Structure 1
Amino acid sequence: MLGLKHWFGVLVQSSKHRKRQNPLTQPLRYSLRTSISKMVTSDSNSGEILQLFLKIGLDERTAQNAIVNGKVSSNLTDVIHEAGVEDGCIKSVGNLLYMVATKYPANALKHRPFLLQYIISSKIKNPNQLEKALSFLSNTGPESLEVDDFEESCGIGVEVSVGDIKTAVDEVANENMDAILAQRYRINAGNLYGQVRKLQPWADAKVVKEIMDTKLHELLGEKTAADEEKPVKKKKEKPLKVEEKVIDVNNSSSAPALVDTNPFLIFPEPGENIQVHTEIFFSDGSIWRPHNTKEKLEKHLKTTGGKVFTRFPPEPNGYLHIGHAKAMFVSFGLAKERNGYCYLRFDDTNPEAEKMEYIDHIQEIVNWMGWGPFKITYSSDYFQELYDLAVELIKRGHAYVDHQTAEEVKEYREKKLDSPWRNRPIAESLMLFDEMRRGVIDEGKATLRMKQDMQSDNYNMYDLIAYRIKFTPHPHAGDKWCIYPSYDYTHCIVDSLENITHSLCTLEFETRRASYYWLLECLDLYLPYVWEYSRLNMSNTVMSKRKLNRLVTEKLVGGWDDPRLMTLAGLRRRGVSSEAINTFIRGVGITRSDNSMIRVDRLEHDIREEMNNLAPRTMVVLHPLKVVLTNLEASAAMELDAKIWPDAQEGDSASFYKVPFTNVIYIEKSDFRMKDSKDYYGLAPGKTVLLRYAFPIKCTEVIFGDDKETIVELRAEYDPTKSIKPKGVLHWVAEPSPGVDPVKVEVRLFDKLFLSENPSELDDWLADLNPKSKEVIPEAYAVPNLAEAKYGDKFQFERLGYFSVDQDSTPEKIIFNRTVTLRDSYAKLVHK
């Protein structure tokens, strides 16, 4: 037991060093030291358990650590006896038994003996098979175990030879050859191992690693000094180059080819989730990890049934933007992928900024994005519980009523100084907090603050405010309350009350994790598993609600649904589908890396890919130039077939639409110039071009206006024989009958709202607005079939882009928004 006593001493010393960073570790350390001391004093019993663990092949350090952890020790002892290997077993089996002891889902204990027989009989041979087995059992009811399904899910009976693994390694190496040769030993080898295991999921991970490492050595030779150097960090101020480099190495944050990769594999499986909730206090002493007692966890599992529970918690103070689309994808998507549940919870603790308009919008847009909430809740639903817990927090000595002004609070926090009221008597804080609730104290004259750690290295532990006085009615709770809880106080408590298993948020909230767990520990509440991911940063736009609100209120845009904004309402109005947005989000991926700026080109690529398959082709002339065909009689009108789809086959009437062809047609003004050149494919005097789906025409005369400069009309001859095959092909629209104008439509062209890639970094960001971000063409000419277009219909205007019918359209005037142009600069970048 000398090793165990030495380990205990190291733990105590380590805990002393971490005391300042984590004030709440004191009771946790005391509890841990007490339990360890009891085990240390029982040397004979611990010695027997140690020998039992060593017999199954565990190394001595792992065995001793298992003894120290009472839960693991108890579980492993039970597992050994259930498996009947008290006299020992081979190391590979022992390691799998240890995995069962540490990861087995509590909701499936009935099936554990069944699983152990597969392990000791070597039907389950490696950790990957066992992980799949644990996942299967965690989602299996007590009476519903199907043996065939179980065996199929974890590869029972599947034999993977060394030759099979070598073949898979060769395939992965060939697919990644450019990246391997470019990055050499700096390449993410774990990603390569993962690709091999995707091809051979039941292969032994150790053998995969050995063969892949051997392959890399064959390709690259010995490591050089350059291979040992640390890679240079990418500069944030050059995001375009960052993304180009990411594309070159096939990183999942950029390449569309990786869209089928499951982005939720980074989250713990249900079986692993038990472990992250019980084993580790902290990840590295500064980033907190949850630790729930056996009683808390069992109560939680009884409520959740071992299912994943997440929440999407928007604040109803504005419209949702594309960053929220990622948050929805992460929280709703994880719940769906794990067969769990996701709440839509309104984080409505600030009545001054919240409106029913925003609440209604959020519910409607969540449904439009394709997500169905398990329940719709409000933080305000818990105002009474939150108040009662605040009273309990004061009684436990962890909160106090403070009278500092906002400026004084800021100054004291910057100087790490305690508030003069920090140590006031508990009874006095209770009395004052009750007066705050009853409206006796004026707004701004008192707050309730959490008594955290003013000497911490983490700014979010400097006695955060829990309650403020606001004499403002609440849009959901009415006028019952005049004190309102803060986000920092409310968020974690409601997560716990709703039994959230995965509390998911963006990386800027990482420093708040300490406060999150501090408060739950103080109140002895269940601790969810917190995980932060990188937020979505889009180029040439702003996504701060404060900035968006300013654009809207100062009427610099046409409202929250202006098609130039990256709000989801704006994107929808522009003609973007929720499917295209989710495809884009999935392609970006879910990581903890600080993402570079994602270029808007990339989103447009996914929009274009979808619309290319869904939007029928048609023809519209934005800036009409009249062309009179002098060799065609006015009465000789004809109907021609134009393709709705580019791959239309002759005889397939559903793939064509009719267009009139008469002696008066209209082309784009930009498709004519007076001087021809070799690189110009438009119309010019004496030159012949082809009218799409029609005939070649040759310009014979140019008619100028009274100013002798403005071209008002062209004269041309058409070739009914189609004997000439010119290079230039133009779209066009004809008069349906003599003297009758074509269908007139309004077309709105949109471009990037800001000129700079990252306007939020500019001091005067409003000065960066693109003056050409919107162009309205009130009378464009369209082919007749567009006269019947309805709101939401989508089309490809040939040579112009993809367009959608706007909500402002009327039967008298149809309005089209350009959703995206035809040019795909992102696709060219990816395939360079």
Structure 2
Amino acid sequence: MSDAVKPEIKPAETTVNNASKGGKGTKGAKGPKGGGASYNINLVNAKDGEVVTRFPPEPSGYLHIGHAKAALLNQYFAQAYHGKLIIRFDDTNPSKEKMEFQDAILEDLELLGIKGDVVTFSSDYFQQMYDLCIQMIKDGKAYADDTPVDQMRQERTEGIASQRRERTVEENLKIFQEMTEGTEEGLKNCIRAKISVTSPNKALRDPVIYRCNLTPHHRSGTKWKVYPTYDFCCPIVDSIEGVTHALRTIEYRDRNAQYEWMLKALGLRKVYVWDFSRMSFVRTLLSKRKLQWFVDKKLVTGWDDPRFPTVRGVRRRGMTVEGLRTFILGQGPSKNILNFDWSLIWATNKKVIDPIAPRHVAVIKENVVKVTIEGGPTEPYTEEKPKHKKNADVGTKQVIYSSEIYIDQDDAETIKDNEEVTLMDWGNAIMKTIHRDGDKVTAIDAVLHLEGDFRKTEKKITWLAATADATPAVLVDFDYLITKDKLVETDDVADFVNPNTEFKTPALADLNVRDMKEGEIIQFERKGYYRLDKPYSEGSPAVFFTIPDGKVVQRYGAKK
């Protein structure tokens, strides 16, 4: 029987809005079962059967847990109102986007139980957006600007109008054509919306809406040399595709007025916006640019590195789909900005894996102590034992009994001469003589005492038969990639890199480990939960990643 812990992937549990037809808000709507968050957010003009939400990831990196929250919430409200969810790839920056990322995002969404009613691409609407940009220029609501980037940024900050702001419509159209052709003159320019120069909301200070890029697009190739920015693209495509409610993270709040301006300026259908808080964790990077920096510097193994907050990364560390969904949906669509400690999400995950994780044994190889047991079996023998004492459905495992066993040095150091201890899943033994070399225990002579009462012993010790079946393994623990709880925009990530983040401890595990497959989750008794990242093979140890359980204690770890 497989040891794998693979919880069933379930769709989000929803309760339909009782207001039903024509009702406002989500009065009466409850959050997912078991979640403490309120989902009664008064979703404006939300009508049962007519709500359309969207999740618009950019295919420039892998899905991380912040994206997962946005996707799950958009799915939740689409289902709650018997509406529709659009998965739309915001593929308007060919310099960063790849098919690799696009495919991975779809795979991760499916893993999370999220499947859009339709999958679309912003690039499907390049022509419509291009035509709308021309319309905006003709209406005097946009202009071409060749101001250098740094100067433009400074002028926007200081509320200074660009010298190009009053160009004529004819001149702006001519330059936009140059941009379209990717000429030398075109490459110097961008198109800016003509909104305001001095607005207190700096998002309204003439934002860029089109720019040149000669990099071939991963879907449209070299057809286009000009691309819309997110701020121009998003409201337009939302309106065209029939989105009724755009749910997005609160970091976009200042751009909501800009979003509305674009729709009004172009005469497009109104879309309602709801902001919810971004899910942030201490000492964790959710910026794809910063995560890419770690990948490029080879400080991690890739986007699925177990230290990464990507869906693939946390899954590789041992996060279950059910644990991830439960935690995220439990936070709900609140606007409150919180910086979570990872212990919270791992504690949620523990509730998923503890009832079904098979129990096994491992001892730390360094300074392992051999115990010779008088009265033990003359020859090693094997018995079938339950993998989980409280869940028979998990199956059975083989336990080898021998007159010579291994125990951890940490346990051996606490034992006194003639002390009676309990050998877990066997019985009591009297530790007659403790052999030491300085502070270290080198060996123990013991006498089996099966008639002893385990309730009267102070120490319950895990052990492993000292036979050739003891399986080489490596237990790997991890620390945060950065040393600061929360980086700000002006921080250089290179200044806060944690130099020691991976810790490897050689161990010996029971023989059942030899049959385990990659991805299986188990508990090594008295050590914690682990996910098998690399199966055992002759000459190559099994590699297990520690799964945090919500406690802030690192049990094992020797620097790599």
What range is the shorter-chain TM-score in? 0.7 to 0.9
CA contact (8 A) 1:661 1:735 kept: no
1:613 pairs with one of 335, 352, 355: 355
1:665 maps to what in 2? 405
Contact 1:605/1:824 (8 A) holds in 2? no
For residue 273 of structure 1, the aligned residue among 46, 66, 77 is: 46
Distance change in 2, residues 1:762/1:775 (3 Å):
farther
Does the C-alpha gap of structure 1 residues 319 and 802 become closer, same or farther in structure 2, counting only changes over 3 Å?
same
Q: Is 1:731 matched up with 2:462? A: yes
- C-alpha separation in 1, matches of 2:159 and 2:282: 38
1:665-684: CA deviations, max 9, x gaps? 111111121xxxxxxxx433
Question: Is contact 1:442–1:469 with CA below 8 Å preserved after alignment?
Answer: no
Q: Corresponding residue for 1:784?
A: 511
Secondary structure, aligned partner of 1:583: helix
Q: Please point out which of 370, 375, 395 is paired with 2:118.
A: 375
CA distance in 2, matches of 1:578, 1:319: 16
Distance 1:523 1:784 in 2: 69
CA distance in 1, matches of 2:281, 2:173: 47
Structure 2: stretches of 5+ with no match in the other structure: 1-16, 554-560
Go from structure 1 to structure 2 and tell me whether the alpha carbon gap of 1:667 and 1:455 turns closer, same or farther (over 3 Å shift).
same
Q: Hey, what's the Cα distance between the residues in 2 that align with 1:646 and 1:413?
A: 66
Matches of 1:492 and 1:656, distance apart in 2: 57
For 1:97-139, what per-residue CA distance to the aligned partner results, in whole angstroms no more than 9, with x for missing partners?
xxxxxxxxxxxxxxxxxxxxxxxxxxxxxxxxxx83x50x469
Q: 1:445 to 1:768 in 2, by over 3 A?
A: closer
**Structure 1 806/465 Cα, relative in aligned 2: closer, same or farther at 3 Å?**
same
CA shift in 2, pair 1:621/1:759, >3 Å = farther
Q: Deviations over 1:366-395 (max 9, x none)?
A: 111110111211111111111011111111
Match of 1:691 in 2: 423
Structure-2 separation of matches of 1:809 and 1:741: 12
Q: Deviation digits for residues 473-513 of structure 1, max 9, x if unmatched? A: 11122111111111111111011111101111111111111
Deviation of the 1:634 alpha carbon: 6.0
User: Given the superposition, is the C-alpha separation of residues 338 and 441 from structure 1 closer, same or farther in structure 2, using an over 3 Å criterion?
Assistant: same
Deviations 1:721-746 (A, max 9, x none): 2356312111111134xxx2512222
The question of whether the paired residues in 2 share the 8 Å contact of 1:604 and 1:820 is answered with: yes
Contact 1:309 1:342 in 2 (8 A): yes
Deviation at 1:530, TM superposition (A): 0.7
Q: Distance in 1 between matches of 2:73 and 2:36?
A: 14
Q: Report the equivalent of 1:459.
A: 202
8 Å contact kept, 1:263–1:586: no
Shift of 1:713: 2.6
**Does the CA-based 8 Å contact 1:627-1:716 persist in structure 2?**
no
1:800 maps to 527
Residues 356 and 388, structure 2, Cα contact 8 Å, conserved in 1:
no
The one-letter amino acid of 2:457's match is: P
Question: Which SS does the other structure have where 2:355 is aligned?
Answer: helix
State the match for 1:716 in structure 2. 446
Contact in 2 for aligned 1:640/1:693 (Cα 8 Å): no
- How far apart in 2 are the matches of 1:485 and 1:750? 41
Distance, in Å, in 1 between the alignment partners of 2:387 and 2:355 is: 11
* Aligned partners of 1:645 and 1:655 also within 8 Å: yes
2:217 aligned residue = 474
Q: Which amino acid aligns with 1:727?
A: E
- The higher-RCO structure (CA 8 Å, 6+ apart) is 2
| Alignment partner of 1:393 is 2:393 | no
Q: Secondary structure at the match of 2:280?
A: coil
Contact 1:401/1:429 (CA < 8 Å) preserved in 2? Answer: yes
- Tell me the residue number matched to 2:344: 602
Please report how far the alpha carbon of residue 814 of structure 1 lies from its aligned counterpart in structure 2 after TM superposition.
2.6
What's the TM-score, normalizing by structure 1? 0.60
Structure 1 letter corresponding to 2:46: N
Q: Which moved more, 1:324-333 or 1:723-732?
A: 723-732
Q: Which letter does structure 2 place at the counterpart of 1:669?
A: Q
Q: Whole-Å Cα distance in 2 between the matches of residues 563 and 698 of structure 1?
A: 42
- In the other structure, the counterpart of 1:241 is none
Q: Which amino acid counterpart does residue 268 of structure 1 have in structure 2?
A: L
Whether the 8 Å CA contact 1:405–1:444 is kept in 2: the answer is no
Structure 1 or 2, whichever has the larger Rg, is 1
> C-alpha distance in 2, partners of 1:767/1:713?
47
CA–CA distance in 1 between the matches of 2:548 and 2:302?
A: 20
Aligned residues: 531
Deviation at 1:761, TM superposition (A): 7.8
Shift of 1:715: 2.4
> Does structure 2 retain, via aligned residues, the 8 Å contact 1:574–1:804?
yes
3-state SS of paired residue (1:264): coil
Distance 1:369 1:388, change over 3 A: same
3-state SS of paired residue (2:340): coil
Q: Distance in 2 between matches of 1:366 and 1:573?
A: 16
Unmatched runs of 5 consecutive residues or more in structure 1: 1-130, 140-193, 202-251, 275-304, 674-681, 826-832
Which residue number in structure 2 is paired with residue 820 of structure 1? 548
Classify the secondary structure of the residue corresponding to 2:344. helix
Q: What letter is aligned with 1:345? A: R
1: CA distance, partners of 2:323 / 2:393: 29
**AA partner of residue 257 (structure 2):** A
The answer as to 2:502 corresponding to 1:774 is: yes
Residue 147 of structure 1 corresponds to none
State the shift of 1:326 in Å: 0.9
Deviations 1:222-267 (A, max 9, x none): xxxxxxxxxxxxxxxxxxxxxxxxxxxxxx9xxxx98345743214
Greater alpha carbon shift after TM alignment, 796-805 vs 623-632 = 623-632
Q: Secondary structure at the match of 1:697?
A: strand
The match for 1:142 is none
Structure-2 change in CA distance of 1:753 and 1:821 (3 Å): farther
Instruction: Give secondary structure in 2 for the equivalent of 1:555.
Output: coil
Note the C-alpha offset of 1:790. Answer: 0.5
- Deviation of 1:756 after TM superposition, in Å, equals 4.0
Counterpart position of 1:169 = none
1:632–1:662 Cα contact (<8 Å) kept = no
Q: Distance in 2 between matches of 1:771 and 1:632?
A: 50
Tell me, yes or no, if structure 1 residue 745 matches structure 2 residue 457: no
User: In structure 1, what is the Cα distance between the partners aligned to 2:88 and 2:280?
Assistant: 24
Residues 618-641 of structure 1 show CA distances to partners (whole Å, capped at 9, x for unaligned) of: 212233623232413563434345
Please list, as runs of the form range in 1=range in 2, the aligned pairs for 1:530-549 lying within 5 A after superposition: 530-549=273-292
For 1:762 and 1:452, locate their aligned partners in 2 and report how far apart those are by CA, in whole Å. Answer: 28
Task: Return 566-575 or 815-824, whichever deviates more.
Answer: 815-824
Q: Rate the CA distance shift 1:761–1:482 in 2: closer, same or farther, 3 A.
A: closer
Residue 259 (structure 2) pairs with residue 519 (structure 1): no
Task: Give the aligned residue type for 2:502.
Answer: K
Aligned counterparts, 1:123-134, within 5 A: 132=18, 134=19
CA drift at 1:654: 6.5
Matched residue type, 1:735: A
Q: Map Cα deviations across residues 395-453 of structure 1 (whole Å, 9 max, x no partner).
A: 11111111211122112212322222222221221122112101223464111111111
For residues 492 and 565 of structure 1, the distance between their equivalents in structure 2, rounded to whole angstroms, comes to: 31
Q: Report Cα offsets for 1:10-29 as digits up to 9, x if no partner.
A: xxxxxxxxxxxxxxxxxxxx
- Which residue identity is paired with 1:730? I
Counterpart amino acid of residue 818 in structure 1: T
RMSD value, Cα: 2.8
Q: Distance in 1 between matches of 2:70 and 2:526?
A: 36
CA positional deviation for 1:700: 2.8
Instruction: Show the counterpart of 1:123.
Output: none
Change (3 A) 1:538 1:498: same
Contact residue 409 and residue 441 of structure 2 kept, 8 A: no
Q: Secondary structure at the match of 2:281?
A: coil
- Which digits, 9 at most, give the CA deviation of each residue in 1:124-172, with x for residues without a partner? xxxxxxx83x50x469xxxxxxxxxxxxxxxxxxxxxxxxxxxxxxxxx
Cα distance in 2 for partners of 1:762, 1:730 equals: 51
Call closer, same or farther: CA 1:760–1:427 in 2, change over 3 Å. closer
TM-score by length of 2: 0.88
Q: Deviations over 1:156-191 (max 9, x none)?
A: xxxxxxxxxxxxxxxxxxxxxxxxxxxxxxxxxxxx
CA shift digits 1:594-633 (9 cap, x unpaired): x231111101110111111221212122336232324135
Kindly state the Cα deviation for residue 459 of structure 1 after the two structures are TM-superposed: 0.6
User: Residues 258-313 of structure 1, C-alpha deviation per residue, up to 9 Å, x if partnerless?
Assistant: 834574321427xx337xxxxxxxxxxxxxxxxxxxxxxxxxxxxxx952111111
